[in-house]
Structure 1
Amino acid sequence: MAAPPDNDVLWARALHVTHNGSPALTGVSIGVREGEILAVGGPRGSGKTTLLQCLSGQLLAEQGEVWFNSAPVHTMSPMKRERLRRDRFGWIDPAPVLVPELTAWENAALLLMLRGVSRRRAKTAALEWLDRLDVGGCARKRPYALLQSERQRVAIARALAPAPSVIFADEPTAPLHRADRAQVLRTLTAAARSHGITVVLATHDADTAALADRTVSLLDGRRVNTVHLPPAAEPPEPDVPTGPAETEGRAACSLSA
């Protein structure tokens, strides 16, 4: 069992996962450098979410290894993996999952309070991120009173507030209108760079992937190289006769008519 490279905060080797007998990941290996924003691209069903779940310790691969800061995640006990996810990782789902009984700021502060941070400090951090994501005015509202896009911003604030080592973002702007996606992604990437947070971002959207430092692509559970094909050449236009020959042809048509 080989340890990962020193400059990789996350490292996985030869991951194999099946879902209901069908391969979800087939021999995928990947390294993520500290502070890097890495996009995992590919169409729906290509294995992006499964890869993020393996890297974050939510899912144990049937074969293969996952390392975080030289610690073998694949051999950790369930309790240690749960502690790792709580203390070092953040997660953003495609659809916001909030606690309905809590206000927006309480949801955003939840992970901090679970770590033992005082309510006052947790609230201050939560409100700061809600403001940066343009939902500060919703801080006292409960999820049922928020729009879907506002709930997703609260979920993103919750992931950012504890300043985790790694954020796993699974299609984080899926519920947002296109006009809102760029602003939210800029906030997420700027926060990651300023706080030294590593981001692993699953997306099928090329514009979203363009904001990352690097992109790896999956197809049918395997890593693939992205091939950029040249544009198809337009067929040549048929020659159109000109001059006397064209005049003679038109005259012949007239006579035959």
Structure 2
Amino acid sequence: MEAPPDDDVLWARALHHRHDDGSPALNGVSLGVREGEILAVSGPRGSGKTTLLRCLSGLVRPRDGEVWFNSLPLHTMGPARRRRLRRERFGWIDPVPSLVPELSAWENAALPLMLRGIPRRRAKTAALEWLERLDVGDRARRRPHRLQQAERQRVCIARALAVGPAVLFADEPTAPLHRADRAHVLRTLTTAARSHGITVVLATTDARTAALADRGVALLDGRRVHTVHLPPAAEPAGSGTTGTEGRAACSLSV
């Protein structure tokens, strides 16, 4: 078994995986992610981006291939060890906000810290700090049903950052946001990652989002490719934009 390079915090070799219906999701994908790097994984929907992030984070074991986090082989770990690693070292942001409905915004953001045994007051302080950075500090006491979808997504991002993860996996993290919100949240996310030394693996279908990363890899039909054409992200309904920006395709070369 070949050891991963010393300067890669994440390293994957020849990953193969299939969806539950048997269709291919990944077909021989290999990559490395350096410590503190923001890596964009780009490609159209259905290209394998989410599956790759799930394999790299230990949410699923690839059918074939290797995944390493530092010197730890995720591909040989059992479910309990992978869960513990995700809880202690990784953060995850979904494209659709998912919060505990009975908890307030700050309690949702602080929940992973409290589950780690962090005292409630310290966890609350950390959660409120990130909610303020993401411009939802004034919503801290509201429960999810009283928040707009974009506000709920900001709470989810605060929750992922508050734990200080070594690696943050962000699967279309700004998909529910309007353009102005998207730009602010992405600036906060990338600035926080660089200032705290957080490695970010960011899946996106948007060329502007991919351009904020230090480096990019492109997927198409579960394989790494040299160039993929990405359109600018469509605006959510009611954003007030004309839609002309979405007509030209952009390309990402890696």
Displacement of 1:2 in angstroms is 0.8
Counterpart-to-counterpart distance in 2, 1:161 and 1:225: 35
1:178 shift after superposition: 1.0
Partner of 1:242: none
**Structure 1 residues 227 and 73: CA distance shift in structure 2, 3 A:** closer
The answer for the alignment partner of 2:49 in structure 1 is 48
Q: Structure 2: which amino acid aligns with 1:7? A: D
- Report the CA distance shift for 1:227/1:153 in structure 2 as closer, same or farther (over 3 A): closer
The match for 2:248 is none
- TM-score by structure 2 length? 0.89
Q: Distance in 2 between matches of 1:57 and 1:29?
A: 16
What is the CA-CA distance between 1:15 and the residue it aligns to? Answer: 0.4
Where in structure 1 do 4 or more consecutive aligned residues deviate above 3 Å? none
Alpha carbons of 1:227 and 1:115: their partners in 2 closer, same or farther (altered >3 Å)?
A: closer
1:210 is matched with which residue? 211
Q: SS at the partner of 2:227?
A: coil
Report the Cα distance in structure 1 between the residues aligned to 2:111 and 2:16, rounded to whole angstroms: 34
> In the alignment, which residue of structure 1 is the partner of 2:194?
193
Query: 1:210-249 maps to which residues of 2 (within 5 A)?
Result: 210-226=211-227
1:117 is displaced (CA, Å) by 0.5
- Match of residue 141 from structure 2: 140
- Residues 64-123 of structure 1 show CA distances to partners (whole Å, capped at 9, x for unaligned) of 000001110011111110000000000000001100000000000011111110000000
| 1:163 match | 164
Task: State the distance in 1 between where 2:115 and 2:6 align.
Answer: 31
**Aligned-residue RMSD, C-alpha:** 0.8
Identity of aligned residues (%): 79
> How far apart are residue 227 of structure 1 and its match?
6.6
Distance (Å, rounded) in 1 between the aligned partners of 2:6 and 2:218: 24
Query: In the alignment, which residue of structure 2 is the partner of 1:93?
Result: 94
Mapped to 2, the partners of 1:161 and 1:11 lie a distance apart of 25
User: What's the secondary structure of 2:92's corresponding residue?
Assistant: strand
Q: Structure 2 regions of 5+ residues with no counterpart?
A: 230-254
Are residues 145 and 227 of structure 1, via their aligned partners in 2, closer, same or farther at CA, if it must alter by over 3 Å?
Answer: closer
Are the aligned partners of 2:95 and 2:173 in contact in 1 as well (CA < 8 Å)? yes
Match of residue 14 from structure 2: 14
- Structure 1 residues not aligned, in runs of 5+: 229-257
Conservation of the 8 A alpha-carbon contact between 2:67 and 2:75: yes
Post-superposition Cα deviations, 1:159-209, rounded to whole Å, max 9, x if no partner, equal: 000110000000000000011101000000000000000000000100000
Counterparts of 2:39 and 2:147, CA distance in 1: 30
Q: Which residue of 2 aligns with 1:129?
A: 130
| C-alpha distance in structure 1 between counterparts of 2:74 and 2:17, whole Å | 16
TM-score (norm 1): 0.88
AA in 2 matched with 1:3: A
2:114, 2:76 → 1: CA distance? 28
In structure 2, relative to structure 1, the CA distance for the partners of 1:28 and 1:137 (3 Å cut) is same
